[in-house]
Amino acid sequence: MTIETFEIPSFTPEQRQKLDEKLSDIIYPHEFEKNVGWTYGAPRWAVEPMVNAWRNEFDWEESRKEMARWHHLKVNIDGVRIHCVNETSQQPGAIPIMLLHGWPSTFYEYHKVIDPLRDGAEGAQAYHVVVPSLPGYGFSDPTPTPGWGVAKCAETLHKLMLELGYSKYVVHGTDWGAVLGMHIATNYTANCKAYHTNFMLVMPPIPTLSNIVTQPVRVAKFLACMLLGGDAIYGKDKLRVLGRSFADIDRDRDSGYRAIQGTKPYSLSYGLSDSPVGLLAWLLEKYHNWTTHTGDKESSVLPPTIDVKEFLTQVTIYWLTNSISSSMRLYYERLVEPNMDRAFSTKVTIPTAVSSFPDEVSKMPREWVDSQVNLVQYEEHPSGGHFAALEEPQLLTHDIQRFGKKISADLQ
């Protein structure tokens, strides 16, 4: 295993020219004359201004220089080079934390929380902050062979922390980062001492013999919610799976991307790898649908908490690294990976904390979470969605700092 310093690259003149050419010669798809909002996906009236901003206004060098203020490394883990930000705190009592992003995101999702977590101002818990690009994402190497599912990626990220010298650490995750974080939290407890997430996934109290004996009331409520809906049993918006109630998951209109990426990711990748407009539109739909909007959502594009520069920085990282295809492989690997159904039914014994945001695409009732993890902190917030670190960085930072105070003794 080797550790090398890394510098976020600039566009070469050839790369810049090719992108400009592709953003200048666009065949837009046919749409209805009537505006149907986002019902059919990302509409042209939302995509075209973003394309124009990418071509005429967005400055990659500005974003690159912003990211260059952190220490970047590439760490060779079993032949795969993993990119990470590694920011060491100067505060006494700082503890290590690994922040894991998901899809469609990059390590840059955490750009608003890295510094405050590292600095621990006004007596808050400070952290040594490690933010990897997941295997196959951004500036990390593409996964080289089939079989790089949750278990292999989680093992690689755990080894990354050990290679950086952190024998005890906290992990925070969202989206795929939460799935990987949960796996780390249940399989590497000798080193991973606490788990924080804003995307908690657990198994519901289905009517198994064990559950009927140990938690009959929860089983009864679960069966009732299958008939009456989650709002009627658990309260408004306490149970949501990709924007739908649990009982309506088979009619969910927002999960088609998972079916495509989980079965034939290569076929989709030809369009997204060759067309920057296709890539932008595919990602933009998620940044619109999975976030909190203060006005009419159907007539808006990005939420007020995520600006155009932030979104285009995310898109540009995917484009510059040609990593959209390798990023989507995890959906396929998850479906063929053996024994992964156990991942969400295994008890998490290390201290666990949850930050719950109202517009998160998947939410579980607190009583489901409480029965399956060692829950020491649960915070519900009035706004925010799937990209909490971008949308509500102060709330997320505060939650992680409060959690750190509770568990820091275990990491010294």
* Enzyme catalytic residues: 175, 331, 386
| Residues 229/248, Cβ–Cβ less than 8 Å | yes
What is the DSSP code (8-state) at residue 359?
A: B
CA distances for 94 relative to 68, 86, 128, 191, 352, angstroms: 23, 14, 6, 16, 19
The closest alpha carbon to 390, from 83, 236, 175, belongs to 175
Q: Could you tell me which residues are beta bridge partners of residue 196?
A: 172, 353
| Residues 27/47, Cβ–Cβ less than 8 Å | no
What is the token pair recorded at 403? 């959690």
- Does the bond joining 104 to the residue before it have cis omega, within 30 degrees of 0? yes
| Residues 222/206, Cβ–Cβ less than 8 Å | yes
CA 159/CA 333 separation, integer angstroms: 20
Which of helix, strand or coil describes residue 311? Answer: helix
Tell me phi and psi for residue 377, to 5 degrees.
-160, 135
Share of the chain residues as helix, strand and coil, in percent rounded to the nearest 5? 50, 15, 35
CA dihedral 272, 274, 279, 280 (to 10 degrees): -170
CA 76/CA 1 separation, integer angstroms: 5
Burial category of 353 from C-beta neighbours within 10 Å (exposed 0-12, middle 13-18, buried 19 and up) = buried
